[in-house]
């Protein structure tokens, strides 16, 4: 007897998305390149506040939204043949590349539904950690340059949608 998924009852439980479903890509050579070995990634979108307090606020402070920004902080297991990591490392080491291309384009992809965050960023920190009794890892800090946009239908083979 062949057992197929269709024969099992459908589970209607949790709709939580596992962190392993999110992958980070960097744009290069007209396509998205996976940053392999990804362990942890955080994306933070924040806004500064502008103090709008005045004497007639009844003794309370008042704020209005200020400039927004975003950062992405991936941690990567060092692996051979990691094209995405090599693209970032090469950009960090060569000032002439940074002069000609002052920002890189990144996509944080939810592989469960192909939605993704797309934006330009500057790598401000790139560190290698090589412990005696653990795998080597790299930590990267990316500061956004301009907005980050949430899009649908990610395709690693094309950069047809342009980040704003």
Q: What is the pLDDT of residues 26-54, one digit of tens each?
A: 999 999 999 999 999 999 999 999 999 99
pTM of the complete model = 0.84
Residue 57 lies in a domain: no
Provide the residue range defining the domain that includes 134.
25-48+67-151
Q: Is the pLDDT of residue 64 over 80?
A: yes
Query: Structurally, how many domains does the chain consist of?
Result: 1
CB 22 within 8 A of CB 35: no
In a 3-state reduction of DSSP, which class is residue 100? helix
Residue 37 lies in a domain: yes
Q: Is the pLDDT of residue 163 over 60?
A: no
Average pLDDT, the chain: 92
3-state secondary structure 36-59: CCEEEEEEEEEEEEEECCCCCCCC
Residue 164 lies in a domain: no
Residue 131 lies in a domain: yes
Q: Could you tell me the pLDDT band of residue 162, with boundaries at 50, 70 and 90?
A: low
Summarize pLDDT for 93-133 with one digit per residue, the tens: 999 999 999 999 999 999 999 999 999 999 999 999 999 99
């Amino acid at each position: 007897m062949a057992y197929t998924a269709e024969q099992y009852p459908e589970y209607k439980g949790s709709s939580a998305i596992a962190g392993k479903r999110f992958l980070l890509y960097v744009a290069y050579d007209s396509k998205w390149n996976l940053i392999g070995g990804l362990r942890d990634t955080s994306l933070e979108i924040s806004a500064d506040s502008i103090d709008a307090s005045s004497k007639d606020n009844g003794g309370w402070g008042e704020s209005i939204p200020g400039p927004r920004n975003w950062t992405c902080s991936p941690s990567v297991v060092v692996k051979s043949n990691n094209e995405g990591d090599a693209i970032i490392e090469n950009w960090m080491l060569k000032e002439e590349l940074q002069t000609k291309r002052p920002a890189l384009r990144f996509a944080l992809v939810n592989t469960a539904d192909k939605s993704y965050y797309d934006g330009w960023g500057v790598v401000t920190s790139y560190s290698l950690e090589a412990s005696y009794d653990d795998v080597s890892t790299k930590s990267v800090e990316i500061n956004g340059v301009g907005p980050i946009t949430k899009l649908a239908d990610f395709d690693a083979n094309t950069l047809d949608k342009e980040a704003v």
